[in-house]
Structure 1
C-alpha cells in the first residue's frame, strides 16, 4: 500500500511563502542602489558584466584574454538565454529566467516531497533559504546551475541516465554539479549515470565547440586566481593584518583578493586541502557499504561542502548551491544531514551580513569584519566536517553482535527500486 499522501494545505502554504519571499527579493533588487544593500554592486554584475559577455557571445566567440571570464563553456548558453525573451531588457529577462529556474526547483522539491514516506522539509528549506541571501540569488546565474544539480539528484533513482546527463550539463555550466554523481549507488546505477554523464557532456561540449570559438579560454584565467578575502585562507590573512602582515586587498579576477607576502603559500595550501578533500571522498566511496535513498544527495552535499571550504574563493552566491543540495537531502526521511542543513542556513544568514551589509568592514580588515568572516567560514567548516562524519557512519558496514562486521548489503541494482527512489 502506498500510504497517505500529503494534503494540499502545506503545499499551498509553501506556494504562498515562495511568492511572498520572491516578491520581497524583487523589491530588494529594485532598491539595490541603497548604500545599506550594496550601493548597486549586486545588480551591476548582470547589467554590465553579463550583458558585456552576451555581446561577445553573440559574435560567436567566448571571451578571450578576459580575466573575469572563468566559467566552463555551458555558461555561455545561460548568458545568451535572456536574449531569447521578447519584449524585455537583458536585466529583466535574466531575472525572469532566474525566477523560473527558482520556481522549477520549488516545484520539483514539492513533487518529490509529496510522495509517500517523503518530506516537504526540502521544499520548505528552499522557500526560506535563498531569501536569507537577500536579492543576490536573482542577480547571479547560480540558481540555474543549482536547478540542474537538484533535478539530477531527484532524477537519478528513477532514471540514472537522465540524472547523469543533467549532472553533466550542470558541470558544463559551472563545474561543481559533477560532484552530485559521486554518491550514485554501486552497480548498474553508477555505470549508467557515469556513462551517460560522460557521453552527454562530450556531446554538449562538442556542440558548443562547433558553435563558438575559444571554448576553453576560461582555463587560463581560472588558474590565475589568488586568495579571495572571503575564503578560509583570506580570513587567516585578514587576521594576520592585525599582527603586522603587510598585505592589502585588491580587486582582481572579479573579486576582492589579498596580495602580499605568503599569499602564494596560502593559495598552495588551499589547493592541497582541495586535493585532500578529493582523496577523502574517494576513500569514502571505496569503503562505503550501505546505500539508502538518501545517500546520493547526502554525498553530493558533503562533496560540495568540502570543495567549498577548501576553495581559494568562497563567494556568497556559493551558498545557493549548498541550499539547493541541502533541500534535496531533506526530501528523504532517511537523510543524516539535517543538522548540516541547519548549519548551511546559519552560514547563509552570516554571508548576508558579510556581503553586502558589512563588506566594507571585511575589506578594511577591521576586527568586526574579521570576526564576521571567522563566524561564516567557521560555520561552513563545521558543516563540512559534520557532513563527512555523518555520511561515513551512515554508509559503513553495519556491526553485528560481538563486534564483528556484518556482511555488506548487495549492490544497489539488486535492491528493491522503492528503496532507492528519490523522486
Structure 2
C-alpha cells in the first residue's frame, strides 16, 4: 500500500522536521543559498584585505594600531586631530588585543568577519520560522540585501570599525518592538561608539515602550561613558575635536566645490583633521550651510515624530533609515564606509514586507555601487580634480540626496498624510511585535 508523501514547506523541508541552526542539513534552501553566497563573497573580501596593500589595510596597520598602543597605556589620543570619536570607539580599537596570537590586522579582520557572520545569521533568523517557512509579514529580502551589498564595497567593511557599530544599531532595531529596554541599551552603547546609532530609537511608537527605550539608551550611554572616563584619561576630548572640520571632498558640499573647481574656483585639497578637505574661498560658507541643513533635518524629524499618527511593524525601521540617511547626506563628511550604515538599516527595513522604504533601499544599493567606483577607483583623480571623478561623485551624492528626499516623503505619507476612506488599511495594534 503506497504511503502519502511527507508534506513539505515552500523551501522543501519536511514539515515534521524543523530546521536547527546546529544542523545545516535541516536548513531551508534559501538559508543554504545565502550561506553559500556569504562564504564565497567573504573569502574574496578577506583576500582583498589580507594582501596588506589596500588603503584600508594600511589604515588599520598605521592609524588603528597607533591608537591601540596609546589606549593600552590608559589614555585617549589627546591632541591627535584624527581622533574625533566618542570614548566607546576605544573598545573597537582594543578588541583585536583579545586575539594575541594574531597580528593586529589579522585580529581586526577576524573580528569584523565574525561580526558580519552574526549579523547575517540574525537577519536570516528574524525572517525564517523553525519549520523552514517565512515568518508572517517578514521577508528574506533584508538578509539578501546584507549579503549582496556589503561585498560591493570590496575589502573596505573589514578595514573600518563601522561594521560592529552598524551591527549594534541593527540589533537595537530588531529588539525594540519586543524588548525595548534591551534595544535602547544597545543603541546607547552604539551611540558611545559612533553617535549615529542614537537615531534608531526615533521611530519607536509612543507609549511605555518608547519611554523604556529612550531611558535605557541614556542610561547605558551614561554608564559606559562613566566607566571609560574612569579607566582612561582624556575621555571628553572628542567634544571639541569636530570644531575645526571643513568640507570633505566626497560630501554633498564637497561635490559642489568639485564642480566649482572645474569652473575655475581657486581652492585646493589638503589633509585636514584626518580627512581630505577643501581649503579656500567660500569653504566656511559651505560648511555652515551643511550644519544648517543638518539642523533642518533634525527639526523635520521632530516634526514628523510629533505629527505621526499611524505606526506599523515597519515604522521604527523606516524612521531609523530616514533619520540616518538625512544626517549622512547633510554631513560635512561622507566617507565611503558611511554606506555600511545605510546598507545595514536598509536590510532591517527589508525584513518587513510592509516597509515603505523598499524602493529607497534599491536606490541605496545603486549608490553603494557608484561609491566603489569613486573609492578606490577614481579617488586619486578626485583629489586632483578630474572631470570623470567629479561626475562620479556628483552622481553618487545625487543618488543619496534623491534617496533622502524619497525616504522622508514616503515615511511622511505612510504615517502622517491623511488616507482616503476607501484606501484606509486596518489599524495595526501597537502591542509588542515578537519574533519567534
Moved segments of 4+, more than 4 Å: 4-7, 406-409
- Counterparts of 1:164 and 1:58 in 2: how far apart (Å)? 29
- Counterparts of 1:386 and 1:32 in 2: how far apart (Å)? 39
- The C-alpha deviation readout for 1:307-352, integer Å capped at 9, x for no partner, is 0000000000000000000000000011011111111111111111
Alpha-carbon shift at residue 422 of structure 1 (Å): 5.8
Per the alignment, residue 260 of structure 2 pairs with 240
Alpha-carbon shift at residue 219 of structure 1 (Å): 2.0
TM-score by structure 2 length? 0.90
Asked if residue 69 in structure 1 is aligned to residue 83 in structure 2, the reply is yes
Q: How does 1:289-308 map to 2 (within 5 A)?
A: 289-308=309-328
Q: CA RMSD in A?
A: 1.9
Q: 1:366 to 1:397 in 2, by over 3 A?
A: closer
Alpha-carbon shift at residue 396 of structure 1 (Å): 1.7
2:149 to 129, 132, 152: 129
Q: How does 1:367-382 map to 2 (within 5 A)?
A: 367-382=387-402
TM-score by structure 1 length? 0.93
SS in 1 for 2:276: strand
SS in 1 for 2:242: helix
Per the alignment, residue 15 of structure 1 pairs with 35
Asked if residue 415 in structure 1 is aligned to residue 426 in structure 2, the reply is no
2:115 to 69, 79, 101: 101
Which consecutive unaligned segments of at least 5 residues does structure 2 have? 1-8, 14-27, 130-134
Per the alignment, residue 71 of structure 2 pairs with 57
- Counterparts of 1:129 and 1:422 in 2: how far apart (Å)? 24
Alpha-carbon shift at residue 401 of structure 1 (Å): 3.5
- The C-alpha deviation readout for 1:229-275, integer Å capped at 9, x for no partner, is 00011110111012211101101122110000000000000000000
Per the alignment, residue 263 of structure 1 pairs with 283
Alignment length (residue pairs)? 408
Per the alignment, residue 83 of structure 1 pairs with 97
Alpha-carbon shift at residue 30 of structure 1 (Å): 2.6
Asked if residue 344 in structure 1 is aligned to residue 361 in structure 2, the reply is no
Alpha-carbon shift at residue 51 of structure 1 (Å): 0.3
Alpha-carbon contact 1:397-1:407 (below 8 Å) kept: no
Which consecutive unaligned segments of at least 5 residues does structure 1 have? 34-39
Q: 1:82 to 1:122 in 2, by over 3 A?
A: same
Per the alignment, residue 237 of structure 2 pairs with 217
Alpha-carbon shift at residue 399 of structure 1 (Å): 3.0
Per the alignment, residue 277 of structure 1 pairs with 297
- Counterparts of 1:104 and 1:253 in 2: how far apart (Å)? 33
RCO higher in 1 or 2 (8 Å CA, sep ≥ 6)?
1
- Counterparts of 1:124 and 1:352 in 2: how far apart (Å)? 19
SS in 2 for 1:250: strand
- Counterparts of 2:328 and 2:384 in 1: how far apart (Å)? 24
Q: Which has the larger radius of gyration?
A: 2
- Counterparts of 1:377 and 1:397 in 2: how far apart (Å)? 28
1:388 to 399, 403, 408: 408
